[in-house]
Structure 1
Amino acid sequence: MESSTTRQQLANLAMDKAQKKLVPFILLMYILAFLDRANIGFAKQEFQVSTGISDAAFALGAGIFFLGYAVFEVPSNIIMHHVGARMWLARIMITWGIVAAGFAFVTTEMQFLVLRVLLGICEAGFFPGIIYYLTYWFTASRRSTVMGLFYFGAPLSFIVGSPLSGLLMEMDGFLGFTGWQWMFAVEGLMATAVGIWALSYLVDRPEKATFIPEAEKQSLVAELAAENSQKPAGHVSAWKVLANPKVLYLCAIYFMIQISVYGVTFYLPTQVAGLLGKKVGLLVGFVSAIPWVFTLMANATIPRYSDRSGKRGILAAALMTLAGLGVVFSATGSPLIGIAALCVASAGYFSCQPVFWTMPTRFLSGVAAASAIALINSIGNLGGFVAPNLRVWAEQTFHSSAAGLYVLGAASFVGAILFLISIPMGIGSNTKPAVPADPATGGPRHAV
């Protein structure tokens, strides 16, 4: 009979293969998702000049994306649970890419708002779908590390996407189209192309994976089944779990994270342009990529440390505190200090989230996990609706551009406090890794 140690070793080999096969592809998907969601920040100035859209309408459009997104999150994840990740994630990408490209033809405020709502509806379920999809392939001992790799998508979308968006913006007048029209069209159609590719590339579950040997595959399936059987709320119904107090508390934490994150990312290019005293273009695009280089380094190390040490809530609270301080200090007029502060803020916000997403899967599995993850993401992402409007309100009320950043910093500190409270609740308490740490890599020790 296969020993538990042997089974764990074989399962680790299977997860190694799944990580090499699947993570780079879903990372590409997330890069395009984040690019299509945040490129509105690059278009802001030129887009408003061309269309006559007011600051208030732009802020409303930036945030209204999350209303359609939030409403359809839970149904989308439940549908994915039943029809499979391959088909559903491909459908999401194809439709959102088409809508994203449609922004190239916007001429009125109403068209802008309608397309932002449609974009949210089309993309609904993508992010929580990926989070849930990863639970099919990776045990808790690897989940924070793998999610950290997945979260490379946000910084990479800016490291690669910021110069790309800036370059496309400078194609103004080519073939009779403005720069912002080229940016929306090219980046949207890229997402559609990858969605079509996903139909032939993704695999729904380990049981269907032809790239994993049978013994390793069965060991991984057994390890995941054993882990899920020990989760206290693992078999709650898809709808009943939505009233679970721990799930609702996680919604509150994620809401504060997203207020902080999107209040910064929506306006990052224009904030950098203000610090440099330059127009948004290729130079601003390259400088805007600098904070995301630091974010990439943070995501490569901090989630791995979280898996190795088992620290969750206390680590996430520290990261949110640092990010909040970064946002506050980014209000300075000094380009050097301001950009350095944005580096700290973005690194803190994005390395915190892979750690956060290990928390709901500590006590949920199956369709209950699919439903809860979607609810947490949908409620949390309403922070993306609140953030730009809150920032504009603070700036107009206090007649200061710094006031908006101070409010976002305060939201980060509230999020840090909520993380600390989650520890005695058993949500964010430390957990020992399921397998010994490998001193060479910092992650779980794999079989050799």
Structure 2
Amino acid sequence: MTPSGRVRQDEVYRGGITGRRPVVPTAFPALERRARRVMSRRAHAYVAGGAGSEETVRANRAAFERHRIVPRMLRGVGERDTSVEIFGHRHEHPLLLAPIGACDLVHRRADLAVAEGAAHAGVTMIVSNQAGHPSEEIAPRATAGWWSQLYWSTSDDLVDSFLARAEAAGAGAVVVTLDTTTLGWRPRDLDLGHLPFARGLGIAQYTSDPVFARLTQETADRASDAKRSGAGPSTRRPSPTPTPAAVRTLLEISRHHPGAFLDNLRSPLPRAAVETFLRVYSRPTLSWDDIATLRSRTRLPVVLKGVLHPDDARRALDHGVDGVLVSNHGGRQVDGGVAALDALPGVAEAVDGRAPVLLDSGIRSGSDVARALALGATAVCLGRPWVYGLALAGAAGVSQVIRDVLAELDLTLALAGARTVADLELAPFATAEPAVQARG
């Protein structure tokens, strides 16, 4: 049974008697505002930003606003049950943490704190392929379970290494992200000239990998050979004068690379690692033929993230995939793209109960979770809100955000006269755009 939302309410109100208030705001708009004050300009731009004019970010929220819950009365819903079984594992809550990279921008303990917060709240986290720590360090802290995200690299050896490491560390599934075969056009980051990975952040899964270490050494060797071959006075180009910004970037790369800071400053490997990452990170040529090889490459259940069309969902199942995650990457990839929630019913109908259907992009509250579940999601993945909780209070902030969302989900079902999500009723779909579209 899902713990009663009243338990969380009572905790907050009783704390108020003695002057204690929630560590982080309980509603998303205030949560983001408060977090923005403590985050660097670059960190907030990276987390909050979307593609282009951020039309898809707004569309994700507008889609939720078009779906209205119809409360039913006198149904005797003293207890609610929102537990769900996925891949043979019973989840007490229909909520997972979406994978979000470069959390070392937000908090010094990054994904370690996220894992501890998720475990305290009793939910599974999807560990980002762009984490600030290796999965092997995160996994022991993710005691409520964890799945592993995979960005398909241009190196098949690296893909196989990531899959093998996820299995060995105890991941419950692998989530292959399809919608980032190349980075979207993200003006907030572009205007700051800021990509965290180019500064050595969010690449710990790579720098801890033996295959990537070999690729990095090859990069460093090529650079050394090129330097030697062009060392003659007639061919040598004048070295650019280092700027203060370039020096700060070098220091940042050296700090985040494994090993001693001073050794890293003297070594070519940290810079070679960043260069190697930028070269191999994603595969624009990824196709269904690649997906078809996954069953022979891993024993883990495979979830495809980024599915927005019913035909793609059918094809995924035909290729042996175990689940799909309806997502537009939080509006960060395609400006003017379909809202994930609008795509959900069609995908759920195409899957027709043969596999779990998850959803992310736009989830901000327990009410949002309820509506997504009512429209066909098996479970949902929470994104930006937990990052803001991390920024404000580390693991405790992550845990509080999750607990608040789950408490609101429970109270929403109770007040709507629904013991389970199947009992929840939505008003007929409205096509008119809401008068006000919330951003973020």
For normalisation by structure 2, the TM-score amounts to 0.25
Q: Per residue, is there more helix in 1 or in 2?
A: 1
**Greater length-normalized contact order (CA 8 Å, ≥ 6 residues apart):** 2
Q: Which has the higher strand share?
A: 2
Work out which of the two has the higher radius of gyration on C-alpha atoms and give 1 or 2. 2
Q: Please, what TM-score do these two structures have when normalized by structure 1?
A: 0.25
